[in-house]
Amino acid sequence: MTVEPSPGGLSEGARLPDNAMVLINTAYYGLPPVESGWWYFKVDGQIYRANPSSRVILERVTHLANAAFKS
């Protein structure tokens, strides 16, 4: 079964808003490990993969999170 991202949220290439929070303990939420050059951020109930220095969104990844995040 393929899980598709839900519509809405911020677009790739957009800059994260100032209220974006770094998402820690990502393994608990079932997300793949963070790699060099990007972090996970949470904004308005959505998870984004973004460059931490420029805050530019690389991808919305909420659909990859497990039920622990969505509860």
The DSSP code sequence of the chain is -PPPPPS-SPPTTPBPPTT-EE---GGGGTPPPP-TT-EEEEETTEEEEE-TTT-BEEEE-GGGS-HHHH-
Residue 32 placed within a domain: yes
Total domain count, the chain: 1
Residue 31 placed within a domain: yes
Residue 55 placed within a domain: yes
Residue 9 placed within a domain: no
Residue 52 placed within a domain: yes
With a cut of 50, say whether residue 1 has pLDDT above it.
no
Q: Which domain holds residue 51?
A: 14-64
Contact of 6 with 46, CB cutoff 8 Å: no
Could you give the C-alpha distances from 44 to 2, 8, 31, 59, in angstroms and in order? 24, 11, 18, 15
pLDDT tens by residue, 11-55 = 999 999 999 999 999 999 999 999 889 999 999 999 999 999 999
Tally of residues, the chain: 71
Residue 4 placed within a domain: no
pLDDT of residue 63: 92
pLDDT of residue 6: 47
Residue 69 placed within a domain: no
pLDDT of residue 7: 57
